[in-house]
């Protein structure tokens, strides 16, 4: 043991328990007092250690240099990106990531670790982060286990479920062959879980397999198989559901007043086998409405357009006057999302707030702009449009210049009428993250007497500057 | 009048949010009027009050005045105006009366202070008496501190892993007018029971503290420079003029790194400088309390022409700076680990209380064994990186592991990197 180690051990244990035994070179200090001797020796020995420090001559391996970057690096984005990170402006960062990916640009080295950390926290952004990392980013990611998600091409195959998921990523044929060969060995819970997972790549080819699963001895497996069959347009089950649903909803035309007439369905053994209304009608309140919802949500919403010769918007207007309006709206929304019907998505998003964020994801840019303009117009008719306008920030899509201006005009008009700051601050903060940058020059806080909301306008100016710089960095 | 850059102005901000708000207020449309002349810059900012805020900057120091209610200093309006000035966006003109009035008042005050300073010559007898009284207080306190240290090693450091007794003794040292010793005791209290090697770390600190106490007891036997160093370490607050050496070092000083620390409400900024002509390392200390900004604008990765005077010490490092004129950073110096370590050992032999020593390794590369990081020089020698340092991956990302210059603070065991630069630019760490 070295002198220093001996002294430190002595100090740890105490001279009371173990009498001091000093190196002769140190014994002269401390005027014969054990503790003083030890204290002085500790000080001197520490100094000698520092003064005699010997660097390592072998062991540490220098990190190999990073290979050259092949793509252009977006160096102008360093400052605005750093500011966006400091201010937690995630939507602005996401927006920049999308722009950089679209322009095939690589993130600047100074923000690579911030982006890699962002990706490790948000699985939603991983693809975008991965796309802008470039050679340098991938090279850095290798150095930290927390960033290994970057290299995750295939999930690790741990058990049967993971095996299925892995095969699913390779191809539909491979995963279904695996199911046919091994299905009988699987436990009930595993069967249900795998059936659920099939929603990701279900095709019409899965119908025979799922039809067979409808005869499974276990009810949970049957129900799940039925749910999956509902996802296959044109499947026998969907046709069956349509046959049952069609007579329930009729539209009576007359010169004076056309109206929607609803007749609630009744359960049949065939419907129960297909997973519809599989519960006791006597025990379940509103059984007929529940079954109607299940049937309508199983069939493509466009079927109703053909059947009733009604476009989505007039049909929703007609539904608004029937007792089952909530049930039908919910069922049509589920069906719209299932069949990805853009016409219905547009009509529903304008009329109802239920699942609006999901619905607008089905729309083209032009249709989304139309929905935005309609919603802004509705908000403008309210005494306080702020909450409705603020809800537009949650739609998860970029606002067009026209939609941004529409929002700004309604907002400006409303704020002009306000005499003092109340709870509006919390709503106002998010808007500059969503306005299209091309309209920033037209947004001037001073126009609406910004003295009443100085902090808010400084925040707006700050966010708008960062977003403008992020956009300019791409050009 | 010194040339200001936007970076230098932003370095004056009391916090990040003020810097950010200052940047936003640097937009001329947010100002009702603005202008500058050779002495000052001024402007009227649109704010939340009925009248615009009147902001003025005395460019000589710089000093700020704003009529806004902000408690931060300088406020966002002052920063916004100063940024515009640094960018050359203010037009020259005649200062309005509220600016000239303020400037005249400042000039009057400065004159009065100078007169007071020259008039109030210290009474040497009273000064000696006060000094003797203080030494007596410190010595009395040291009696208790020594007994406490002796008792700690008698019982064994493992016998009591509570930090309470150490903190109590630190409070006693404040009463005994030895704040430097109190700080050392608080540092030890923070280390008790922390990490697997805390006993060794605490033993080392305790040993060095004991040497300091012993040195003060025998201060008359030490030479003048070492006496000054011991007094500084104990926390004797002497007037800066009394501590400074006579020699001036006019030079181009490269601002190699800036380290910020917070001690309760006091913010301490330690700037490391290198004199191109004299070849000396220097450390500049600047302090600020609360939301106030630092007095000096030393941005890492810049340089300045200035005359420095070293504080008295057996190993002079700390400097006071005269007026500064900015210049671009251009620091190229090759240094190996063995050269740095040897220089450190020589310095430590002269000054055993040296806490940190400036170490430059160039060209340097980052290296590792498992999860431990090192810096390796061109001779293949390596020193460990301080375990609390967490920016190795940032440095790798920016440098791409190319050989570069790494500057850090060496404590005898590990290097805490403070900056790095290479073909890719400069990076504060």
**CB contacts, 8 Å: A7 with chain B:** 203, 207
Helix (H/G/I), strand (E/B), else coil: B183: helix
Residue B363, chain A, CB below 8 Å: the answer is no
Q: Name the closest residue on chain B to residue A11, using Cα atoms.
A: B153
Q: Which of A140, A454, A461 sits opposite B47 (nearest CB)?
A: A454
Burial of A109 (0-12, 13-18, 19+ CB in 10 A): buried
How far apart (Å, rounded) are the C-alpha atoms in residues A264 and A245?
A: 9
Q: Given a cut of 80, is residue B17 above it in pLDDT?
A: no
* For residues A232-252, average pLDDT: 88
Average pLDDT over residues B352-360: 90
pLDDT of A312 above 60: yes
Confidence band of A428 (pLDDT split at 50, 70, 90): confident
Percent of chain A residues past pLDDT 70, beyond the cut? 92
The pLDDT score that the predictor gives to residue B163 is 87
| Long-range CB contact pairs, A305-310, < 8 A, 24+ | A305/A343, A307/A246, A308/A249, A308/A250, A308/A251, A309/A251, A310/A251
A417-444 core/surface letters (b: 16 or more CB in 10 A; e: else): eeeeeeebeebbbebbbbbbbebbeebe
Supply A249's token pair: 């909803």
Assigned token pair, A294:
């299940």
pLDDT score, position B395 = 93
CB contact under 8 A, A60 and B401: no
Is the CB of residue B424 less than 8 Å away from at least one CB of chain A? Answer: yes
At B25-50, the pLDDT tens digits run: 888 878 888 899 888 999 998 766 66
User: What's residue B18's pLDDT?
Assistant: 81
Residue B310 structure tokens = 């070293």
For chain A positions 91-130, those within 8 Å of chain B (CB to CB) are: 109-110, 112-113
Cβ–Cβ of B207/A56 closer than 8 Å?
Answer: no
Is the pLDDT at B122 greater than 70? The verdict is: no
Find out whether A456 and A425 touch, Cβ atoms under 8 Å.
yes
The residue among A40, A47, A120 with the most chain B CBs within 10 A of its CB, best to mutate, is: A47
B169 exposure class (CB count in 10 Å sphere: 0-12, 13-18, 19+): buried
**DSSP conformation class of A110:** G
Calpha distance A175→A169 (Å, rounded): 8
CA distance A184 to chain B (A): 47
Q: How many angstroms from the chain centroid is the CA of residue B261?
A: 8
pLDDT for residue B2 is more than 60: no
Residue A124 is predicted with a pLDDT of 82
Which of B397, B404, B406, B425 is the best substitution to test chain A (most A C-beta atoms within 10 A)? B397
**pLDDT at B114 (0 to 100):** 72
C-alpha A337: how far from its chain's center?
17
* Chain A contact present for B25, CB below 8 A: yes
Per-residue pLDDT of B219-239, as tens digits, reads 999 988 889 889 989 988 767
Six-digit token string for B410: 């060496």
Residues from chain A that touch B345, judged by Cβ atoms under 8 A, are 50-53
Please, are residues B163 and B197 in contact by the beta-carbon 8 Å criterion? no
pLDDT value at residue A154: 46
Task: Decide which of A278 and B87 is more confident.
Answer: B87
Give the model confidence (pLDDT) of A147-185 as tens digits: 888 886 544 445 678 778 877 777 788 888 888 888 888
Window 42-71 of B: residues touching A by CB (8 A cutoff) are 46-49
pLDDT at residue B294 tops 60 = yes
Predicted local distance difference test score (pLDDT) of residue A346: 95
The crossing angle, in degrees rounded to 10, of helices B179-191 and B164-175 is: 170
pLDDT at residue A426 is higher than 80? no
Q: B159 — contact with chain A (CB < 8 Å)? A: yes
pLDDT band at A406 (very low <50, low <70, confident <90, very high): very high
Judging contacts by C-beta atoms under 8 Å, the chain B residues touching residue A59 are 369, 374, 382
Given a contact cutoff of 8 angstroms between Cβ atoms, the answer to whether B291 and B15 are in contact is: yes
CB contact under 8 A, A43 and B210: yes
Give the distance from residue B130's alpha carbon to the nearest chain A alpha carbon, in angstroms.
31
Task: Give residue A268's pLDDT.
Answer: 85
Q: Does A78 touch chain B (CB under 8 A)?
A: no
Say how far apart CA A56 and CA B396 lie, in whole Å.
21
pLDDT at A281 over 70: no
Contact call for A56 and B21, based on CB within 8 A: no
Top pLDDT among B374 and A198 is at B374
> Which ipTM value was assigned to this complex?
0.76
Among A164-168, A218-222, B180-184, B319-323, where is mean pLDDT lowest? A164-168
Cβ-defined contact of B412 to A53 (cutoff 8 Å): yes
Confidence of residue B281 (pLDDT cuts 50, 70, 90): very high
Residues A145, A147, A149, A151, CA torsion sign: negative
Number of Cα atoms under 13 Å in the Cβ half of residue A349: 29
Write the residue in A16, A62, A86 that is nearest to B154 by C-beta.
A16
Residue A305 pLDDT level (bands cut at 50, 70, 90): very high
Q: Which site among A46, A57, A59 would you substitute to test the B interface, given the most B Cβ atoms closer than 10 Å to its Cβ?
A: A46
Arithmetic mean of pLDDT, B260-266: 81
Selecting from A11, A34, A51 the residue whose C-beta is nearest the C-beta of B345 gives A51
Q: How many CB atoms lie within 10 A of CB A341?
A: 21
CB–CB of B154 and A33 under 8 A?
no
B64 or A155: which leads in pLDDT: B64
Separation between Cα atoms, residue A381 and residue A20, nearest integer Å: 89
For residue B369, list chain A residues with Cβ-Cβ distance below 8 A. 59-61
Residue B79: closest CA among B15, B132, B124, B139: B15
Query: Can you tell me whether residue B409 is helix, strand or coil?
Result: strand
pLDDT at A157: 47
Nearest to B400 among A12, A60, A65 (CB): A65
Kindly state the percentage of chain A with pLDDT values over 90: 39
| Least confident span in A100-104, B168-172, B324-328 | B324-328
Pick the closest to residue B78 from B107, B50, B102 (CA basis).
B102
Q: Do A44 and B153 touch (CB under 8 A)?
A: no
pLDDT of residue A159: 65
- Contact (CB<8Å) A55/B341: yes
Beta-carbon separation of B207 and A39 below 8 A: yes
Among the listed residues B328, B351, B250, B143, the one whose alpha carbon sits nearest the alpha carbon of residue A36: B143
Q: Which residue is listed with tokens 């004076």?
A: A256
Secondary structure element (H or E) that encloses residue B360, with its range: strand B357-369
Residues 6+ apart with CB under 8 A from A442: A405, A408
Establish how many alpha carbons lie within 13 A of residue A318's alpha carbon, considering only the half-sphere containing its beta carbon: 21
* Beta-carbon pairs below 8 A across chains A and B: 196
**Cβ separation B24–A465 shorter than 8 A:** yes
Q: How many CB atoms lie within 10 A of CB A63?
A: 19
């Amino acid at each position: 043991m070295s002198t220093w180690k001996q002294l430190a051990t002595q100090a740890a244990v105490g001279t009371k328990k173990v009498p001091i035994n000093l190196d002769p070179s140190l014994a002269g200090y401390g005027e014969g007092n054990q503790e003083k001797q030890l204290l002085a020796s500790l000080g001197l020995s520490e100094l000698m250690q520092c003064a005699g420090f010997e660097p390592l001559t072998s062991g540490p391996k220098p990190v190999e240099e990073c290979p050259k970057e092949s793509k252009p690096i977006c160096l102008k984005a360093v400052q605005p990106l750093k500011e966006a990170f400091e201010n937690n402006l995630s939507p602005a960062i996401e927006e920049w990531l999308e722009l950089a990916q679209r322009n095939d640009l690589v993130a600047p080295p100074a923000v690579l670790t911030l982006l890699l950390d962002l990706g490790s926290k948000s699985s939603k952004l991983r693809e975008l982060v991965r796309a802008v990392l470039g050679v340098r980013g991938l090279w850095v990611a290798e150095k930290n286990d927390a960033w290994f998600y970057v290299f995750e091409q295939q999930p690790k195959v741990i058990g049967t479920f993971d095996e299925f998921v892995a095969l699913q990523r390779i191809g539909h044929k491979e995963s279904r062959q695996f199911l046919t060969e091994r299905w009988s060995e699987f436990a009930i819970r595993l069967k249900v879980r795998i059936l659920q997972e099939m929603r990701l790549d279900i095709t019409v080819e899965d119908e025979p397999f799922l039809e067979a699963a409808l005869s499974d001895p276990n009810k949970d497996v049957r129900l799940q198989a039925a749910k999956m069959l509902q996802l296959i347009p044109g499947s026998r089950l969907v046709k069956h559901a349509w046959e049952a649903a069609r007579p329930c909803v009729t539209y009576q035309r007359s010169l004076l007043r056309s109206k929607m007439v609803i007749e609630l369905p009744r359960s049949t053994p065939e419907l129960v086998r297909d997973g519809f209304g599989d519960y006791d009608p006597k025990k379940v309140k509103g059984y007929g409405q529940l079954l109607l919802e299940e049937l309508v949500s199983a069939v493509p919403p466009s079927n109703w357009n053909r059947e009733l010769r009604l476009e989505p918007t007039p049909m929703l207007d007609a539904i608004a006057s029937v007792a089952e309006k909530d049930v039908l709206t919910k069922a049509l929304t589920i069906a719209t999302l299932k069949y990805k019907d853009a016409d219905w998505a547009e009509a529903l998003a304008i009329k109802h707030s239920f699942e609006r964020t999901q619905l607008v994801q089905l729309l083209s840019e032009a249709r989304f702009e139309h929905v935005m303009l309609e919603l802004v117009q509705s908000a403008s008719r309210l005494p306080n449009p702020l909450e409705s306008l603020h809800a537009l920030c949650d739609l998860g899509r970029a606002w067009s210049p026209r939609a941004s201006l529409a929002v700004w005009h309604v907002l400006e008009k409303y704020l002009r009428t306000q005499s003092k700051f109340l709870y509006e601050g919390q709503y106002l903060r998010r808007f500059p993250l969503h306005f299209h940058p091309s309209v920033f020059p037209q947004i001037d806080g001073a126009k609406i007497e910004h003295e009443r909301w100085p902090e808010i306008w400084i925040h707006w100016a700050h966010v708008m500057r960062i977003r403008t710089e992020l956009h300019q960095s791409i050009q | 009048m010194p040339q200001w850059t936007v970076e230098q102005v932003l370095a004056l901000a009391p916090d990040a949010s003020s810097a950010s708000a200052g940047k936003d207020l640097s937009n001329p449309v947010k100002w009702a009027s603005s202008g500058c002349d050779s002495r000052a810059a001024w402007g009227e900012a649109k704010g939340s009050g009925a009248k615009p805020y009147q902001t003025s900057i005395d460019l000589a120091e710089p000093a700020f005045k704003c009529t806004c209610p902000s408690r931060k200093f300088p406020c966002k309006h002052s920063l916004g105006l100063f940024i515009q000035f640094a960018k050359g966006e203010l037009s020259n003109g005649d200062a309005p009366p509220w600016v000239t009035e303020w400037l005249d008042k400042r000039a009057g005050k400065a004159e009065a202070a100078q007169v007071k300073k020259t008039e109030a010559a210290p009474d040497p007898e009273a000064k000696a008496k006060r000094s003797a009284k203080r030494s007596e207080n410190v010595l009395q306190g040291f009696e208790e501190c020594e007994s406490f240290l002796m008792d700690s090693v008698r019982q064994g450091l493992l016998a009591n892993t509570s930090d309470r007794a150490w903190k109590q003794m630190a409070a006693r040292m404040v009463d005994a007018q030895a704040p430097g010793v109190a700080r050392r005791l608080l540092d030890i209290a923070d280390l008790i029971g922390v990490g697997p090697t805390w006993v060794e770390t605490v033993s080392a600190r305790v040993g060095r503290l004991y040497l300091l106490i012993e040195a003060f007891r025998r201060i008359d036997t030490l030479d003048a420079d070492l006496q000054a160093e011991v007094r500084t370490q104990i926390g004797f607050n002497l007037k800066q003029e009394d501590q400074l050496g006579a020699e001036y070092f006019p030079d181009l000083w490269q601002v190699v790194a800036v380290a910020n620390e917070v001690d309760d409400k006091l913010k301490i900024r330690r700037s490391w400088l290198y004199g191109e002509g004299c070849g000396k390392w220097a450390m500049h200390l600047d302090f600020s309390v609360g939301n106030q900004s630092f007095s000096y604008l030393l941005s890492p990765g810049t340089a300045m022409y200035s005359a420095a005077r070293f504080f008295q010490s057996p190993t002079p490092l700390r400097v006071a700076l005269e007026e500064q004129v900015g210049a671009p950073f251009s620091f190229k110096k090759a240094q190996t680990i063995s050269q740095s370590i040897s220089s450190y050992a020589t310095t430590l032999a002269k000054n055993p209380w040296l806490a940190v020593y400036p170490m430059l390794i160039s060209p340097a590369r980052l290296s590792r064994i498992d999860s431990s990081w090192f810096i390796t020089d061109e001779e293949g020698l390596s020193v460990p990186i301080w375990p609390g340092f967490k920016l190795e991956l940032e440095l790798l990302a920016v440098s791409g592991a190319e050989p570069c210059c790494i500057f850090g603070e060496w404590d005898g065991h590990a290097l805490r990197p403070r900056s790095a630069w290479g073909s890719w630019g400069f990076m504060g760490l």
